[in-house]
């Protein structure tokens, strides 16, 4: 009789453990499903302009500059913004020592002016930019967040920016989506006066 009671108790214990394992497995599956749904929702929303730039090695100099200027929060804000984003190669075209000088704390005002000169309030995808250029006799001026203007035109089918100094930059990758606007990668840094 004692052996039967022991077997019954052992059987109940094994059954309880199996039920507990099944409940845990079900909970883990449910948890995984919630994480998958949450990840899918997050994956459907592109990151902010800063997040997009930070996720691409070609913009590491720009990201360092945005951090040094204290513009991360602004460019991660609601927007929308259109950013003409210089690539690392674009920054590399500047005279030797320029980038290093701009990244110094005492140059924060100048750096902020240069960076905000690359930003336009509103979301302007490439098709809208090209349309505006065509409707305005081949040239369209946009006011930047910095306060200056950039003239947009078409050369060889590409959108070209002409800055306040007369220097030009070409859009090399248009319409990079961000949750708070759009990025157009450019091949040279544009400068305010």
Instruction: Write down the pLDDT at residue 36.
Output: 39
Same domain assignment for residues 31 and 60: no
Q: Which domain holds residue 87?
A: 49-186
Same domain assignment for residues 27 and 53: no
Phi first, then psi: give them for residue 47, nearest 5 degrees: -70, 170
Percent of the chain at pLDDT exceeding 90: 73
Instruction: Write down the pLDDT at residue 135.
Output: 96
Is residue 121 a part of any domain in this protein? yes
Number of domains in the chain: 2
Task: Dump pLDDT digits (tens) for 80-131.
Answer: 999 999 999 999 999 999 999 999 999 999 999 999 999 999 999 999 999 9
Phi first, then psi: give them for residue 168, nearest 5 degrees: -120, 155
Same domain assignment for residues 70 and 134: yes
Instruction: Write down the pLDDT at residue 12.
Output: 38
Confidence of residue 43 (pLDDT cuts 50, 70, 90): low
Instruction: Write down the pLDDT at residue 44.
Output: 63
Task: Work out whether the CA dihedral 47, 94, 145, 131 comes out positive or negative.
Answer: negative
For the chain, what's the residue count? 193
Is residue 111 a part of any domain in this protein? yes
Closest CA to 155 of 114, 182, 187: 187
pTM here? Answer: 0.76
* Per-residue burial over 156-174, b = 16 or more CB atoms within 10 Å of its CB, e = otherwise: eeebbbbbbeeebbbbeeb
The 139-143 sheet, strands edge to edge:
119-121, 81-86, 181-186, 168-178, 158-162, 149-155, 139-143
Is residue 192 a part of any domain in this protein? no
Asked if the model's pLDDT at residue 187 lies above 50, the reply is yes
| Run of H or E including 184 | strand 181-186
Q: What is the mean pLDDT of residues 149-176?
A: 96
For the chain, what is the mean pLDDT?
Answer: 83
More confident residue, 43 or 30: 43
Same domain assignment for residues 146 and 110: yes
Same domain assignment for residues 38 and 73: no
């Amino acid at each position: 009789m004692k052996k039967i009671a022991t077997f019954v108790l052992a059987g109940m214990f094994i059954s309880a453990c199996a039920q507990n394992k099944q409940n845990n497995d079900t909970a883990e599956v449910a948890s995984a499903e919630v994480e998958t749904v949450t990840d899918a929702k997050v994956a459907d929303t592109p990151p902010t302009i800063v997040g997009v730039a930070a996720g691409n090695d070609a913009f590491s100099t720009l990201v360092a500059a945005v951090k040094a200027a204290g513009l991360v929060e602004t460019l991660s804000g609601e927007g929308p913004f259109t950013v003409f984003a210089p690539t690392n190669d674009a920054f590399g075209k500047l005279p030797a020592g320029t980038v290093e000088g701009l990244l110094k704390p005492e140059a924060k005002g100048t750096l902020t002016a240069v960076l905000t000169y690359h930003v336009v309030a509103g979301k302007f995808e490439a098709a809208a930019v090209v349309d505006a250029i065509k409707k305005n006799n081949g040239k369209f001026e946009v006011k930047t967040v910095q306060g200056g203007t950039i003239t947009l035109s078409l050369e060889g089918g590409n959108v070209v920016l002409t800055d306040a100094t007369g220097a030009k930059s070409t859009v090399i990758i248009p319409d990079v989506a961000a949750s708070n606007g759009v990025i157009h990668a450019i091949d040279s840094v544009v400068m305010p006066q």
